[in-house]
Structure 1
Amino acid sequence: MATAPIAQSMRAKRLIPRLDACVSRIDTNSELFQHVAVYGGFLTDLLGGRVPGGTDQNDELLGLVEEFCTLIEADSPAAH
């Protein structure tokens, strides 16, 4: 079995909680919230096998999700 699909699935599983945490930091009427919906759909489809695993495009999209989460986390730190 190829390792790329497995690695992408593991990466997607780690990103879901981060993306979920970003939701509480974003206004639901903002354009950023639309990104959350698209990224969440992609992660769900990848993990559900509706998107073929192991592609370079998936790596690029996973990188975009990670970058998005990093930007939201840096711009809107969680309240303590």
Structure 2
Amino acid sequence: MSHFVSAWYLLYTRPCYEKKIAERLDDLETTYLLPLRKVLTNYKIEKHMHYEPVFSSYIFVHLNSIQQYFDCPGVNGVLCFVKFE
């Protein structure tokens, strides 16, 4: 029998979907970490301040159950979990 480990996992996402996925994870009551940084961009005469992810195409999620593990990849824009070995 396999035992699920409550821990932090890393999701790989489609480009520019990080904030949309974060909103959906809120709906699923899943704890996530999406570090953002302020960016000042110049558009002709105007300057705009916006926030962009520090790690493009990645979101950290803390999963407490096997159900959350299977729900996360079903979110629109999530490609897969990042796995090692």
TM-score bin, normalised by smaller chain: 0.3 to 0.5
Between Structure 1 and Structure 2, the one with more helix by share is 1
